[in-house]
Structure 1
Amino acid sequence: MFDGLKDKLNDFRKDVEETTEKDSDAAADASDATATDAATGTPAADDAADAAATVDATSGPAEESDTDASAADESDPSTFQRAKAFATGRVIIEEEDLEDPLWNLEMALLESDVEMSVAEEILDTVRETMLGETRKQVETTGELVEEALHDALLDVIAVGQFDFEERIAEADKPVTIVFTGVNGVGKTTSIAKLSEWLADRGYSSVLANGDTYRAGANEQIREHADRLDRKLISHEQGGDPAAVIYDGLEYAKANDVDVVLGDTAGRLHTSDDLMSQLEKIDRVVDPDLTLFVDEAVAGQDAVTRAEEFNEAAEIDGTILTKADADSSGGAAISIAYVTGKPILFLGTGQGYDDIERFDPERLVDRLLGADET
């Protein structure tokens, strides 16, 4: 899952390591030169060597005094500062170390279908976290890069996260959940998967087929309902979707069912008539949660559609299907940040059990290679 993006993030880590190691070697040479000059009694070098060697016992390297600054090689202050840091056991990461690697990272994110504003946010966070950072020579630049990437990715991926199971447990029953999205992305199958996920946690559910436009929609969802032994509420083709889901809610109230799972017609975000139906469902049923469903492999298209659906009938979260087939990870990285609403589930296969709660921390670990499971 997301192997392509994982490789590109690892390339960025290597780029920064290579750049900073070259500059560290240069700093080491400068430090050696300073020490050599100090041994021969060069006054300015004596001052620089003294400054480089002075370390506060409790707080690390002493701050540079005005005298130290005047002793610096003004033709290349960066090298001098690096030499001082190196002499005191530290390495400084500067803008020049990050310029090319950050450019490469930006291109890698965009090529992985990460939305532009999201890519920029990640880059800004990495830059702010690392710029001017010092590390001990016993550490690795790769560790610093990994920490910066971890924080930057988590900031955009974890937007709006909430505990879905806790929300269901604490809500007044029945809980009504409406599913929206375009045709062919696995919306109806995701409803069946979520019904099974809820059953595994002790919650009963009824399916309501609000997809009254598509021929064969009743048969498709009925097949899932029969396999899972769930009650299905449906009307004739061409009926009012809001009325179907409302009937599902009334059935749940009368039969002590915990959750109503309401399907809707797959629609393009540009279809005004169908989008207005979502608004009507929202008014008539007032669902507790509206979930947007799309394919992880759709990348930037999924992000754009999520924005449009959120504007038509505010969504509460997203389910991404086919996550197991997605190497880019662009939708998983971008949707929460762009909509302000979390990804809640990932579809990872064809079986009813192939759905997992979305865990931002685990996804970041996967992307950075910390979780290889």
Structure 2
Amino acid sequence: MPKLSLGKVFSAIIEEVAYTELDEKTLKRHADAFVLRLVEAGVALEVAEALVADLSGRISGKKLGRFADKRKALLDELRALIRDVFLSAGSVDLDGLVKRGVAGKGFFSILFLGPNGHGKTTTVAKLAYRFRKQGYRVAIAAADTFRAGSIEQVSQWASRAGAEVVSLGYNADPAAVAYEAVKKGEKGDFQVVLIDTAGRMHTKKNLMDEMKKIARVASPDFKVFVGDALVGNDAVEQAKTFFSEVGFDGSILTKFDADIRGGAALSVVYVTKKPLLYVGTGQGIEDLKEFNVEEYLGMLFE
């Protein structure tokens, strides 16, 4: 298992402080350099500063036995710190939520939101395929109604996933498309309704207002932010804005298989305090896996 560059940064930090006196003054002297290294590994600046401060608090003045392996002790503290970031965000069993939703009211709806070009439609199709394999009747709401070819793209992916498409055509009100799909779920036509929306830049207020309207009209059972692991710091700013403007219950990061740095996952979870549900591991319909914090730690430290 190749070590992510973020893990190499962590190891380098430990090597630098393992053989010094672990006092606040020494750690403070190294802090700025440590923050810079973390940022270079794809960690958002505010997260890097917080992590260095948290780590300093954990190891400052740490008392170790005369023959203790200081390097191992510090790595254990760092591993525990990273694990705590993910554990504090909680966890979500989306399969379980869908199962209970279908058993209770007959259907479950999920709204997907995020920037353009980050693989949202592909991710929706992968989840549609996952739920179809579980035996559910699945629909994808084609609520990206202004981008050329968007409905055809959804239709192609839906066909591969074995899902149906709910569409009102191009230039239709995206909120109306989402509402129509949810109504079909309420009538029993579908058990899982996945609402694919247009990608939008987090800095465009009118587009964020439209996203809020879709969420208000569709009243989904669950909302998912889809981000790109490769954009690093930008993913964090995007996640923060979508979370504050619309809100969401968890995240999915695409292109996780191509992310050699590893900082985006840690950063998005740190700033939103919401769990990372799945990661994209390729372009195939099955290339979506549940995020596992222990596997992630293994990629960082082993």
- Inter-partner Cα distance in structure 1 for 2:135 and 2:71: 45
Counting only pairs closer than 5 Å after superposition, residues 310-329 of structure 1 correspond to structure 2 as 310-329=243-262
- Inter-partner Cα distance in structure 2 for 1:280 and 1:99: 47
Q: Is the 8 A contact 1:157 1:334 kept in 2?
A: no
Question: How many Å apart are 1:218 and its aligned residue?
Answer: 0.6
Say yes or no: does 1:167 pair with 2:168: no
- Inter-partner Cα distance in structure 2 for 1:284 and 1:316: 18
Structure-1 residue corresponding to 2:42: 113
- Inter-partner Cα distance in structure 2 for 1:132 and 1:274: 50
Counting only pairs closer than 5 Å after superposition, residues 1-373 of structure 1 correspond to structure 2 as 3-19=4-20, 93-95=22-24, 98-163=27-92, 164-171=94-101, 172=104, 173-255=106-188, 257-369=190-302
* RMSD across aligned positions (CA): 2.1
Letter of the 1:6 partner, please give it: G
Letter of the 1:208 partner, please give it: A
- Inter-partner Cα distance in structure 1 for 2:26 and 2:69: 14
Deviation sequence 1:249-306 (CA, Å, 0-9, x none) = 2222334532100011111122233222211111211011111111001111111111
Q: Is the 8 A contact 1:2 1:367 kept in 2?
A: yes
Provide closer, same or farther for how the CA distance between residues 159 and 115 of structure 1 changes in structure 2, counting only shifts above 3 A. farther
- Inter-partner Cα distance in structure 1 for 2:121 and 2:192: 16
Letter of the 1:324 partner, please give it: D
- Inter-partner Cα distance in structure 1 for 2:165 and 2:3: 36
Q: Is the 8 A contact 1:292 1:318 kept in 2?
A: yes
- Inter-partner Cα distance in structure 1 for 2:13 and 2:185: 52
Question: How many Å apart are 1:169 and its aligned residue?
Answer: 2.7
Instruction: Find runs of 4+ consecutive structure 1 residues off by over 4 angstroms.
Output: 99-103
Letter of the 2:269 partner, please give it: A
- Inter-partner Cα distance in structure 2 for 1:351 and 1:227: 10
- Inter-partner Cα distance in structure 1 for 2:220 and 2:174: 13
- Inter-partner Cα distance in structure 2 for 1:102 and 1:211: 45
SS across alignment from 2:142: strand
- Between the two structures, name the one with larger relative contact order (CA 8 Å, sep ≥ 6): 2
Q: Is the 8 A contact 2:111 2:194 kept in 1?
A: yes
Q: Is the 8 A contact 1:209 1:232 kept in 2?
A: yes
SS across alignment from 1:319: strand
Deviation sequence 1:54-94 (CA, Å, 0-9, x none) = xxxxxxxxxxxxxxxxxxxxxxxxxxxxxxxxxxxxxxx43
- Inter-partner Cα distance in structure 2 for 1:351 and 1:357: 15
Letter of the 1:126 partner, please give it: L
- Inter-partner Cα distance in structure 2 for 1:307 and 1:220: 28
- Inter-partner Cα distance in structure 2 for 1:200 and 1:143: 44
Q: Is the 8 A contact 1:191 1:263 kept in 2?
A: yes
Letter of the 1:305 partner, please give it: Q
* TM-score, L = length of structure 2: 0.90
Deviation sequence 1:76-130 (CA, Å, 0-9, x none) = xxxxxxxxxxxxxxxxx43455445544432211222322332222122222221
Q: How many residues align?
A: 297
Identity %: 35
Letter of the 1:169 partner, please give it: K
